[in-house]
Structure 1
Amino acid sequence: MSSDPAIQPARPFTHEGATLIWEARGSGEPTFVLVHGIGMGRTVFNGLSERLAEHGRVIAIDLPGYGEAPEPPRTPTVERLADIVAAFLRSEGIAAPVFIGHSMGTQVITEIAARHPDLDARLVLIGPTVEIGQRNAWTQLARLGRDLLDESPKVFVVGAREYLRAGPNLRLKMRAMLVHKPELAYPRVAGDALVLRGEDDEVAPHAWCEQVASSLPRGTLVEVPGVGHEAMIKNPDPAADRILAWLGITATADATNP
C-alpha cells in the first residue's frame, strides 16, 4: 500500500520519434497504468489516480499528440500507440501492471496485452470502443453527444479543454481509432480483464460490452448504476471501488451497489 500519494513531476518518454508524457504518484504494488481516450489526456484521471494511489503506484499517460505530449510527425495507429507504451514500461522496469483504459484507451491497452504478453498485465476496460458495425465518426459523435446531455459542468470543462489540446489532427486520430478492430485482439489477451460499463453509457452499449467480456478469455463485465461514458470524471469513486474490489484489494463496494 502506498504511503506517499504525492504527484511526481511529469516526464517525457520518446520511442521511435513519438513522445508520451507520464507522471506518477503513490508507491508499492500493484502499478496502475492509466491510458485515456480520444481527445483526452491524463488529467481526466486525476480523481481516479488519487484514489488508486492509496493502494499502489499510479502512472497516468498523455499519449503522443494528446494533453502535454507533442504531436508526432505521423498520427500513430492504435497498434503503434500500444508499442510505444509497452516500450515505456520496459524502460522503467515495470512488470505485471494493471492497465486501466477509458474509451479509445481500452483499445490501446488491449493491444498492449495481446502484442506484449511478457508484460503479464491485467486489464480494466472502462467504456470500451468501438462497436462492430458502428465504426464511423458521425455515429460515435452522436452517441457521445447523447451521453453528455446529463453530464455535469465539470465533465464539459475537462473534456473541452482536452479536446482543444488534442490539436488539429484530431480527425486523423479519430480515423486511427475507428479502423482498429479490437475484437481481433480480445481473444489473445491472456490475463484477467474487467469490463467496466456505466449503466447509462451511450457510447459503449450493454450488448457490445457483453461481447467484449465474453471475447476475453478471462473477462468479467461489471456495470455501475446511474452513470454514463464519462463517469470517472464526474465521480471516480464507484469506478475505483469496483476496480479495487475486483483486484481483491478492498471491499468498499461490490458489483451491485453504487
Structure 2
Amino acid sequence: MEHWTHAGLFTRRFGPPPRPGRPNVVLVHGLGLSGRYFVPLARRLAAGGATVFVPDLPGNVRSRSAVRRAPRVTEVAGALRRWHRELALGPSLLVANSVGCQVVAAFAARHPGLVGRVVLLGPALEPGAGGWRQCGRLLADAPREPLGLLAVAAADYLVTGPLRFAASFRHALRDAAESFEGHLARVAAPTLVVRGSGDTIATRAWTRRVAGIVGDGRAAEVGGAAHAAHYSAPGAVAALIEEFGAGGRA
C-alpha cells in the first residue's frame, strides 16, 4: 500500500500503478468514516490485479482539514471529481458503502464519462425514513458487525468529531429526501447493488428498489454479512465485484 495527499484528500493506493487501458477501482466510504474499513476489500481486489484507490472524503478523519465545515453531499461529489481529474484516472469502477452511495450517485449522475461501472454496498440513507429511524437501524446493525470494524469506526468517528458527524448526517438526510433517487435515475453505467443478508440499514426491498431505479441495475446479497459486508466478507464481495467488472451479471 502507498499513501499520500492528493487534491486535499488523503489517498491510499493498492496494487500496481495505473496504466492506460486498465480500469481503476475507487472505494468510497460512508458517513464520518475513513477508507480504513475498506482495506480488507482493497487488498483482495489488488491481489487480483486491480489498481485500487481509497480516499478519505473531505471533512473525514485524515482529510478533515480539507474543509472548514461539513460539506453537503453534492459538494463531496464535487471534491471527488476534482480528485479524480487530477489523478487522470479515466472511467473507473466506483464502489461505495452506505452514505458513500449517495456521493457516488451524485458523481455518476453529473460525470457519466468518468464512470465505467458502479457497485453500491448497502446504499443508505433510504428516502422517507426519518433521522431517528435511521439511527435505530444503525444501532441494530452494530452487534452484527465484527468487533474489529466497531473499533475502526469508533476511532474514525472520534477523529471526525461529533459536531461534524451530526452536520454531515443532516446533509445526508436532506439529500436522501430531495436528491438521491433523482441522482440514481440518471446513473447510466451498469450498476450492482449489494447488501449483507443481515443488514438492518439497507433493507432487501430498498436495495431492489435502487437496482430498479438505475438505468442498468441488478441486485445481489452476501449471506451472513451485515451493513459492512466488504469488511466481514471481503472475499465474497471482491468476487462479486471482479465478476461484475469483467462484464458478468454477478
TM-score (normalised: structure 1): 0.88
Would the aligned equivalents of 2:94 and 2:115 in 1 still touch at CA under 8 Å? no
Alignment of structure 1 residues 225-236 onto 2, 5 Å:
225-236=223-234
Indicate whether 1:24 and 2:13 are aligned. yes
Q: If each structure's helix is expressed as a fraction of its own residues, which one has the higher value?
A: 2
Distance across 2 between alignment mates of 1:248 and 1:25: 19
Distance across 2 between alignment mates of 1:214 and 1:187: 9
CA RMSD of aligned residues (A): 1.6
Would the aligned equivalents of 2:121 and 2:229 in 1 still touch at CA under 8 Å? no
- The Cα offsets for residues 53-111 of structure 1, whole Å up to 9 and x where unpaired, read as 12211000100111211241232111111111111111111111000100011111111
Q: Tell me which residue corresponds to 1:16.
A: none
SS at match of 2:129: coil
Q: Tell me which residue corresponds to 1:88.
A: 83
Give the AA of the match of 1:217. Answer: G
- The Cα offsets for residues 8-66 of structure 1, whole Å up to 9 and x where unpaired, read as 132231xxxxx321121212522000110012101010100101112211000100111
Give the AA of the match of 1:196. Answer: V
- Structure 2 gap segments, 5+ residues each: none
SS at match of 1:38: coil
Of the three residues 37, 59, 67, the one matched with 2:30 is: 37
Would the aligned equivalents of 2:122 and 2:196 in 1 still touch at CA under 8 Å? yes
- Structure 1 gap segments, 5+ residues each: 1-6, 14-18
Distance across 2 between alignment mates of 1:33 and 1:93: 13
Distance across 1 between alignment mates of 2:185 and 2:130: 20
Indicate whether 1:149 and 2:138 are aligned. no
Change in 2 beyond 3 A, CA 1:34/1:62: same
Indicate whether 1:100 and 2:98 are aligned. no
Give the AA of the match of 1:174. Answer: F
Percentage of identical aligned residues: 32
SS at match of 1:202: coil
Q: Greater relative contact order: 1 or 2 (C-alpha under 8 angstroms, separation 6 or more)?
A: 2
Distance across 1 between alignment mates of 2:87 and 2:10: 13
Would the aligned equivalents of 1:154 and 1:234 in 2 still touch at CA under 8 Å? no
Q: Which moved more, 1:160-169 or 1:195-204?
A: 160-169
Would the aligned equivalents of 2:34 and 2:60 in 1 still touch at CA under 8 Å? yes
Indicate whether 1:166 and 2:160 are aligned. yes
Aligned length in residues:
240
Would the aligned equivalents of 1:113 and 1:121 in 2 still touch at CA under 8 Å? no
Distance across 2 between alignment mates of 1:240 and 1:178: 29
Of the three residues 4, 11, 15, the one matched with 1:10 is: 4
Q: Tell me which residue corresponds to 2:50.
A: 56
SS at match of 1:149: helix
How far apart are residue 150 of structure 1 and its match?
A: 2.6
SS at match of 1:222: strand
Q: Tell me which residue corresponds to 2:129.
A: 134
Q: Tell me which residue corresponds to 1:243.
A: 241
Would the aligned equivalents of 1:190 and 1:217 in 2 still touch at CA under 8 Å? yes
Q: Tell me which residue corresponds to 1:3.
A: none
